[in-house]
Structure 1
Amino acid sequence: MKKMPVIFVGHGSPMNIIENNTFREGWREMASRLPRPKAILCISAHWFTHGEAVAMNDKPETIYDFYGFPEELYEIKYPAPGAPALAKEIAALSDDIQIDSNYGLDHGTWSVLHTMYPHADIPTLQVSVNADNSPIENYKIGQLLSKFRDEEVLIIGSGNIVHNLQLVDWNVTNGFTWADEFDNYIKQAILNGRHEDVIIYSNAGESSKKAFQWRDHFDPLLYVLGASEKDEPVQVFNDERTLGSISMTSYIIG
């Protein structure tokens, strides 16, 4: 069995769950290019914790961690089974990884999987983004997780490379110049296997100062890069910025 690829998905607004747009089409295309996994391990921007955690339960609940959206969104369920045996293996990687028996699947995970794997029949769990870690430390956690690629586990990072809600402009359909610059800096680094330039993202210059206020949506990419090899092939999807300050750019690596 070949090593399972790893992916990063720019998930954007919860409205992408119900809108028929190019982003959802991109997610469908990504799924069509992947071998079917035995399990899915998702690092979602919306589980941003002090310390590292892995969710372990048999039937993870669908979490609606957003407000003020159409009622239709709150009626969607994503009843994928959990992966408790995998969760135990992940927790065994380090004494610093805690088990959380209550956390389910937040919208950073199920909003994307609802399109990619609509039958919700693949065991799925989440690993949190450690808010206390430096970029290199979260990259190294990704390196620990990489072993599960050999066990047909699909590792997904779900966030947004550019995610500055304070600067969102609802009248803009593309990206601000600085958002394009930062997203392209990251893309060129990934395509050329320069993971260190992603870890030290401030090397992008002035654009890095506006790209995000917190690293919750950026760091899932670091976990994914840590789980990948620098010389693996890269496919780019949804290479777009929207609302001025949100990047939807997504990747399959491997």
Structure 2
Amino acid sequence: MASLSNAFANLQSTPRMPALFVGHGSPMNAILDNEYSREWRHIGEGLPVPKAILVVSAHWMTRGATLVHIGTNPKTIHDFGGFPPELFAQQYNAPGAPDFAQATIDLLEESHAHSDERWGLDHGAWSVLIQMFPKADIPVYQLSLDLSKDLDEHFRLAEELKALREKGVLIIGSGNVVHNLRALSMNGQKFDWAVEFDQYMADAIATRDTGKVLDIGKLGRVAALSHPTIEHFLPILYPLAVMAEDEKVSFFNESFDMGSISMRSFILS
């Protein structure tokens, strides 16, 4: 554990930082002035200034390994298509956080996390941060989602990150409580199954019932429709796993976009 005592212990202790889950939705929210982006700006203005930001995004998926980006200048990744040139022109030039990334790798020693220098900031990270922290002056790094792990394994891994909050790290999970792009409603009509799953999750999160969160499979068809693939659900687990007993949960952006994307988000403080 020598590396842990060096990399982690050398980080200055701070008051505990909040932790967030952000429903990021469309990458267009990076450049639009709408109810979601305005709330992101409001949240950002009210947060204590972090020493670093760790984002767990639905859009960095790996299999068989958990990776932590350790680069000094993370690139802005435009990991989407079919959007206007203005969106592709966006750059979020925040510095990387190699010291915090190494400390994170050390904390995840039992989970065998590895360093990565090829990634950067995907739109699950920068489309939110460009609104929340527009100056891009806070170091940012990402942690990948290992799709070979089940929900319980993700939760246990995330629990190992809790100590980062008292080193000035703002942990942000970025995904969506409901995410089904195949069922988008052009008239914005919400689907019954989407509303049911969103409310199930809201109740579980508000009552701190992590067992309920980890047991979404019992919802059967409702869960399958709400998450045809699991990557937008997994980031919810990361802030929940680092929640302290004395913290309260506050929801924001409690609405749907195009009927099948829940923008529900929450902050722990």
Instruction: Please state if 1:209 is matched with 2:224.
Output: yes
**Counterpart selection for 1:156 from 138, 152, 172:** 172
* One-letter amino acid of the structure 2 residue matched with residue 34 of structure 1: L
Residues 34-92 of structure 1: CA deviation (Å, up to 9, x unaligned): 21111000000000111211001110000000011000011111000000011111111
- The aligned residue for residue 193 of structure 1 is 208
Distance 1:54 1:75 in 2: 26
Note the C-alpha offset of 1:33: 2.6
Provide the rounded CA distance (Å) in 1 between the counterparts of 2:61 and 2:91: 22
Instruction: Find 1:132's aligned residue among 137, 148, 154.
Output: 148
Preserved contact between residue 237 and residue 251 of structure 1 (Cα < 8 Å): yes
**Aligned residue among 31, 36, 41 for 1:18:** 31
Q: Which residue does the alignment assign to 1:65?
A: 79
Task: Report whether the alignment pairs 1:218 with 2:227.
Answer: no
Structure 2 CA distance for aligned equivalents of residues 26 and 207 of structure 1: 28
Q: 2:52 aligns with which of 22, 32, 39?
A: 39
1:110 corresponding residue in structure 2: 126
Structure 1: state its 5+ residue gaps. Answer: none
Which one is further off, 215-224 or 226-235? 226-235
Which structure 1 residue ranges, 4+ long, deviate > 6 Å from structure 2? none
Structure 2 residue runs of 5 or longer lacking an equivalent are 1-13
Moved more, 87-96 or 62-71: 87-96
| In 1, Cα distance between equivalents of 2:28 and 2:152 | 32
Distance in 2 of aligned mates of 1:10 and 1:225: 14
Deviates more, 1:152-161 or 1:200-209: 200-209
> Match of 2:3?
none
Tell me the TM-score normalised to structure 2 length: 0.91
Name the CA distance, whole Å, in 1 between partners of 2:189 and 2:100.
Answer: 40
Q: Distance in 1 between matches of 2:47 and 2:220?
A: 35
1:46 is matched by which residue type in structure 2? H
% identical equivalent positions? 43
Deviation at 1:17, TM superposition (A): 1.3
What is the SS of the residue equivalent to 1:92? helix
**TM-score (ref. length: structure 1):** 0.96
2:240 partner letter = L
- Asked if the contact 1:179/1:241 (under 8 Å) is kept, the reply is no
Aligned equivalent of 2:8? none
Partner amino acid, structure 2, of 1:223: Y
1:108 deviation in Å? 0.4
Query: Cα RMSD (Å) of the superposition?
Result: 1.3
Deviation at 1:134, TM superposition (A): 0.6
Counterpart residue identity of residue 211, structure 1: S
Alpha-carbon separation, structure 1, partners of 2:251 and 2:105: 31
Are residues 1:183 and 2:190 paired?
no
SS in 1 for 2:128: helix
**Counterpart Cα distance in 1 of 2:159 and 2:93:** 29
For 1:148-195, what per-residue CA distance to the aligned partner results, in whole angstroms no more than 9, with x for missing partners? 0001100000011111111112x1325212111101110111111101
AA of the residue aligned to 1:149: R
